[in-house]
Amino acid sequence: MSFFLMPTPMAARRLFLGRSGLVLSAAAVALLAGKDALAAKAGDASAADTRILNTALGAELEAIAAYQLGAESKLLEKPVLDLAVTFQGHHKEHASVLAKTIEKLGGKPVTAKQAYGFPAEQLKSQADVLRFAAKLEQGAVSAYLGAVPLFGDRELAKAAASILGDEAMHWAVLRQALGEAPVPSAFMS
């Protein structure tokens, strides 16, 4: 993944939901097949919720690694470095809650990748690091926005919406730090 070729928010949402979409499509087909599918619906919804949560966990683990890259880059001035570490802490909290929830649902949480394809060589200034982080946060906002209505368990949807709000605040603060309008429009997409 290249810094200058970051996926659009819509593409990021598709990537985020890609694996869970297959399960949801299968559940939808099963429901159309007849009343026998209704008995399996609860299990399918739980499995689909677990897959969505695992996809979210993978994204949170990637964000933790991205903020680590930014923190270790030596490009961030003290106040911005403190902000990055704070945001990384938020992502660690999200990851912890997601992993515990996946386990409660009987699933196995994904683990962090050995390496991510971050554009380290293209990060040459504090502004580059902030833009990189802002794009990741924007993608997270879009992904959670797409995921919230897909949860079968409404409590999980509420929890995901809470994380969505945090990601949106991260994005706004990073845009502000770049001198950009923190909230570029009245609606998220």
Q: What is the pLDDT of residues 9-41, one digit of tens each?
A: 444 344 343 333 322 233 333 333 333 333 334
Higher-confidence position of 61 and 9 = 61
Lowest mean pLDDT among 38-52, 100-114, 151-165: 38-52
pLDDT given for residue 20 in this prediction: 33
Q: What is the pLDDT of residues 131-150, one digit of tens each?
A: 999 999 999 999 999 999 99
pLDDT given for residue 12 in this prediction: 38
3-state DSSP call for residue 48? Answer: helix
Entry pTM: 0.77
Cα(99)–Cα(64) distance, integer angstroms = 14
CA-wise closest residue to 159 among 88, 114, 78, 105: 105
Q: Look at residue 124 and tell me whether its pLDDT is greater than 80.
A: yes
CB atoms under 10 Å from CB of 110, counted, come to: 19
Could you give the domains of the chain?
6-177 (1.20.1260.10)
pLDDT band at 4 (very low <50, low <70, confident <90, very high): very low
pLDDT given for residue 179 in this prediction: 94
Lowest mean pLDDT among 1-5, 10-14, 55-59, 113-117: 1-5
pLDDT given for residue 46 in this prediction: 86
Q: Please report the DSSP string for 62-130 in residue order.
A: HHHHHHHHHHHTS-S-HHHHHHHHHHHHHHHHHHHHHHHHHHHTT-------S-----GGG--SHHHHH
Residue in the block written with tokens 């897959």: 51
Residues 71, 30 contacting (CB under 8 angstroms): no
* CB-neighbour burial class of residue 46 (10 A; exposed 0-12, middle 13-18, buried 19+): middle
Higher-confidence position of 103 and 186 = 103
